[in-house]
Amino acid sequence: MKLLKEMCAIHAPSGNESGMTKFLLKYIEKNKKNWKVKPKIYSGEGFQDCIVLVFGKPRTAIFAHLDSIGFTVRYGKQLVKIGGPRLIDGINLVGEDSKGKIDCKLAVNKEGNISYKFKRDIKRGTELTFNPNWRETKEYVQCCYMDNRLGVWNALQVAETLKDGVIVFSCYEEHNGGTVSFIQKFLFEKYKVKQALISDITWVTDGVPHGKGVAISLRDSLIPRRSYVNKIISIATKTKIPFQLEVEGSGGSDAKELQMAEYPWDWCFIGAPEDNVHTPDEKVYKKDIDAMVKIYNVLMKEL
């Protein structure tokens, strides 16, 4: 869990993912020599802060977003949300501007307006994120930004043994997306890849509890093509990997841009469930994490 802990502490809200991008490129360069297949790496010009890894002869792409939720400093100590963070009065926010490091408090009034409490004014446009507080036991890990540093971590575990496939580290997912659109076009036209797995983290609900395995989503606010999802469930059923089926009417992921793409992409969201969503206390059970890695390894071979 050392790698996951390190990634959860990296400042990378939507629109400023470069910290995660640099970290991952350095990690990939250092570790790819130990992977079964050394991938072709696409990044930089034409890919913004995204990274695309192509292994062998790919059939399926894993999408994992790098960005997190947070806040942007406005004027007069006002804040604007990045994505959908839970508004909890008094929680710690951190960041940095030209005057130095920032460790301040979120203030939420009765009308729901948000601001910060700090000894000085913070430069407008500065991003503030949750202060990382890593907690780990034999059963679970807990910190801010499990969504989606855990999805990224999962993809890196799969990369170690992946022979044929694509791993996409995307940006902007928490704040309306934007990068998957050009990446799906690139992958379809260059590699004819048109099916995806969304490596992201879902919610603990009344039907999807901790400890029952990874969640395979039948739908959220969007509905994937059922024949593709059925194929995934059929493969998963033949294994001994614990999984549970999720049905929700809200929420979304990188899949929304694949669903609306000009090319015919199939997709399925598969991720471990977490409690305390979009707070500094996101909590995931280790058994569900283990099931997530195992099922991705199987699916990338079988699909």
CATH number, domain at 104?
Answer: 2.40.30.40
pTM of the model: 0.97
Q: Render pLDDT for 236-265 as a digit per residue (tens, 0 to 9).
A: 999 999 999 999 999 899 999 999 999 999
> What 3-state DSSP class applies to 6?
helix
- Is the domain of 88 the same as that of 207? no
Q: Judge whether 193 and 87 are in contact, CB under 8 Å.
A: no
Confidence of residue 164 (pLDDT cuts 50, 70, 90): very high
* E-strand stretches of 109-262: 114-117, 127-130, 135-136, 140-143, 165-170, 195-199, 202-203, 214-219, 243-247
Residues 163 and 78 in one domain: no
Q: Give per-residue pLDDT as tens, 17-61.
A: 999 999 999 999 999 999 999 999 999 999 999 999 999 999 999
Count CB atoms within 10 A of the CB of residue 225. 15
**What contacts 99, CB < 8 A, 6 or more positions away?**
120, 123
Residues 51 and 150 in one domain: yes
Q: What's the CA gap between 106 and 88, in Å, rounded?
A: 7
Q: Verify that 60 and 88 share a domain, yes or no.
A: no
Tell me what the pLDDT averaged over the chain comes to: 97
> CA-CA distance, 116 to 258, in Å (whole number)?
37
State percent of the chain over pLDDT 90: 99
In whole angstroms, how far apart are CA 15 and each of 48, 117, 129, 277?
A: 10, 24, 13, 21
54 and 178 share a domain? yes
Is the domain of 82 the same as that of 105?
Answer: yes
Nearest to 167 by CA among 39, 71, 3, 1: 39
**pLDDT of res. 219:** 96
Q: Which residues touch 154 (CB under 8 Å, ≥6 apart)?
A: 64, 199, 271, 289, 292, 293, 296
Please identify, among 130, 147, 170, the residue that sits at the C-terminal boundary of a domain: 130
Q: Are residues 25 and 79 in the same domain?
A: no
Q: 258 and 285: one domain?
A: yes
Of 112, 130, 148, the one marking the end of a domain is 130
Which of the listed residues 79, 109, 130 is the one where a domain comes to its end? 130
Strands (E), the chain: 40-44, 48-55, 61-65, 70-73, 79-82, 92-97, 100-108, 114-117, 127-130, 135-136, 140-143, 165-170, 195-199, 202-203, 214-219, 243-247, 266-271, 273-275, 282-285
* Judgement on whether residues 64 and 77 belong to the same structural domain of the protein: no
Name which of 209, 203, 200 is nearest 244 in CA terms: 209
Q: What is the pLDDT of residue 148?
A: 97
CATH number at residue 271: 3.40.630.10
Residues 60 and 126 placed together within one structural domain of the fold: no
Q: Quote the tokens at residue 142.
A: 């807990």
Examine the domain organization and report whether 112 and 142 are in the same domain: no
Domain count, the chain: 2
What is the per-residue pLDDT for 224?
A: 97
Question: In which domain, by residue range, is 86 found?
Answer: 71-130
If asked whether residues 154 and 31 sit together in one domain, one would say yes
Task: Record the tokens describing residue 299, joined without a space.
Answer: 């699916």
